[in-house]
């Protein structure tokens, strides 16, 4: 379950303004990846490119053998069926109760009966802990509940890829912690590929299997969580450890004078790498499973190019 996203040489501009250039990375099937970056580095633009809402100037985004950067509208429509998206504000319809909000994609894109729709909606609302809140309007519930309702709606079509656009925005640390645990539990349970755009450093340090960092119009680094958290690369080290010393300034890059003034400063030691958040439902994370174990449990065989062996090797 879950599908790989292979991005190669991606460049996006708005007029003469380059947002980022030559971005290349592979999001492994079924794993959780986080994309970080200072404000204004084009993280949300990257998500929009992945679902074909924005066309890049150059490069490819290959999903299930289809390059969505150049494919036809018909093929793009089919590939989009693989996606579920949790928007920043949950994007709830204010005049609909939570049940109807979650049911909306099923009524819009399938021919399922209301009885079938009810079974699916209640299953997804149960997954995100919203049973009993079906009749509430979005304006009557907390921001955390709206995020969970938005997540339930993103899951109703059983996506292979789930994109999260700053899921922690507007949430306090406690609600963010609950949402992070929910994301980890869901990934273990449904085995979709998760990509999260966030500013929350605690989320980046404890939730994902892989981390990417967009900075100064390029992808500074992408790889396993442990690799980035122990990196000595100045911008990666500064951002992931919330340090003032480094190339990132209050507004974009520091100038030569600021960097020269810092040159003699001794950097604080890197903090220990925190434990990765474990699923609370007892299902092992994909990256920690024995290669092929989930597939064997479900009577399946590993597809060509599977990332299971690499993920298991990293975990060991």
Q: Which pLDDT value is given to residue 305? A: 32
Q: Which pLDDT value is given to residue 251? A: 57
Q: How many CA atoms lie within 13 A of 127 on its CB side?
A: 25
Q: Which pLDDT value is given to residue 237? A: 85
128 assigned to some structural domain: no
pTM, to two decimals: 0.84
CATH number for the domain including 246?
3.40.50.300
d(CA 286, CA 204): 17
287 assigned to some structural domain: yes
52 assigned to some structural domain: yes
Which of 219, 225, 220 shows the shortest CA–CA distance to 203? 225
- pLDDT < 50 positions in the chain: 289-316
- Is 7:206 a contact under the CB 8 Å cutoff? no
What does the DSSP assignment read for 192-217?
-EEEEE---HHHHHHS-SEEEEEETT
Which of 185, 213, 209 shows the shortest CA–CA distance to 198? 213
Q: Which pLDDT value is given to residue 265? A: 66
SS3 category, 79: helix
106 assigned to some structural domain: no
151 assigned to some structural domain: no
Domain that holds residue 206: 5-82+159-315
* φ and ψ at residue 24, rounded to 5 degrees: -130, 130
Of all helices (H) and strands (E), which one includes residue 223? strand 218-224
d(CA 7, CA 26): 6
- Is 80:63 a contact under the CB 8 Å cutoff? no
Q: How many domains does the chain have?
A: 1
Classify the C-alpha dihedral 218-36-190-138 as positive or negative: negative
27 assigned to some structural domain: yes
Classify residue 45 as left (phi > 0), alpha (psi -120 to 50) or beta. Answer: alpha
HEC assignment per residue over 99-166: HHHHHHHHHHHCCCCHHHHHHHHHHHHHHCCCCCCCCCCHHHCCHHHHHHHHHHHHHCCCCCEEEEEC
What does the DSSP assignment read for 179-192?
HHHHHHHHHHHH--
Q: Which pLDDT value is given to residue 80? A: 92
Both tokens of 180, joined, read 């992070």
């Amino acid at each position: 379950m879950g599908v790989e996203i292979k991005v190669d040489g991606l460049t996006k501009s708005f007029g003469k303004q380059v947002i980022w250039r030559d971005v290349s990375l592979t999001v492994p099937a079924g794993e959780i990846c986080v994309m970080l970056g200072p404000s204004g580095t084009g993280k949300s633009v990257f998500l929009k490119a992945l679902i074909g809402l924005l066309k890049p100037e150059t490069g490819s985004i290959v999903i299930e053998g289809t390059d969505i950067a150049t494919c036809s509208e018909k093929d793009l429509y089919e590939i989009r069926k693989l996606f579920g998206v949790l928007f920043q504000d949950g994007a709830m319809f204010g005049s609909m109760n939570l049940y109807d909000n979650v049911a909306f994609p099923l009524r819009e894109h399938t021919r399922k009966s209301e009885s079938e729709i009810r079974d699916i909606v209640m299953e997804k609302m149960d997954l995100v802990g919203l049973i009993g809140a079906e009749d509430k309007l979005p304006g009557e519930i907390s921001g955390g509940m709206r995020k969970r309702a938005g997540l339930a709606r993103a899951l109703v079509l059983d996506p292979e890829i789930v994109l999260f656009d700053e899921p922690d925005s507007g949430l306090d640390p406690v609600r963010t912690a609950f949402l992070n645990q929910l994301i980890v539990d869901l990934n273990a349970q449904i085995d979709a590929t998760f990509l999260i755009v966030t500013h929350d450093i605690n989320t980046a340090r404890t939730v994902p299997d892989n981390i990417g960092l967009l900075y100064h119009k390029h992808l500074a680094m992408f790889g396993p969580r442990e690799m980035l958290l122990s990196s000595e690369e100045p911008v990666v080290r500064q951002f992931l450890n919330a340090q003032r010393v480094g190339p990132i300034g209050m507004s974009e890059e520091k100038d030569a004078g600021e960097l020269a003034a810092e040159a003699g400063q001794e950097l604080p030691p890197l903090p220990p790498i925190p434990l990765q958040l474990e699923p609370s439902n007892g299902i092992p994370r994909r990256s920690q499973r024995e290669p092929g174990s989930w597939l064997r449990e479900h009577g399946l065989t590993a597809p060509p190019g599977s990332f299971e062996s690499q993920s298991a090797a990293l975990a060991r």
